[in-house]
Amino acid sequence: MITIPLKVSEELAGRLLPLQNRLPEIIELGLRQLKAQSDTEAVPSTPKERVLAALVSTGIVSLPEPATSSQPRNRHTPIQAGGQPASELIIEARGAL
């Protein structure tokens, strides 16, 4: 086993300390992610996109297929209400200007 000295910020060190036993696994997953990105496309621009891309590339999560336009959307039947239209009720409630 090789020891690699590494300088990190105090904030990052605080986040890494609880995970120190899993650092080799985390580094391996990160290296896989970097390789997958260089093999396929550009690096995602936002932190959310980068995390999602990392999880997908490692197989931890899978993204659902986007809905196609051929699938009908469930639409509700409108409710028929009697009486005055809402706009007229609002005008009456306001009174004369």
Per-residue pLDDT tens over the stretch 10-42: 998 999 899 989 988 888 888 887 787 776 666
Per residue in 35-72, is it b (16+ CB within 10 Å) or e — as a string? eebeeeeeeeeeeeeeeebbeebeeeeeeeeeeeeeee
Total domains present in the chain: 1
Residue 10's pLDDT is: 92
- Per DSSP, helices labelled H in 5-66 are 10-16, 23-40, 47-58
Q: Residue 91 falls within a domain, yes or no?
A: no
Q: Residue 4 falls within a domain, yes or no?
A: no
pTM score above 0.75:
no
Here the tokens at position 24 are 């080799």
Here the tokens at position 75 are 């639409």
36: containing domain:
9-62
pLDDT in tens, 72-96: 677 888 888 888 888 888 888 898 6
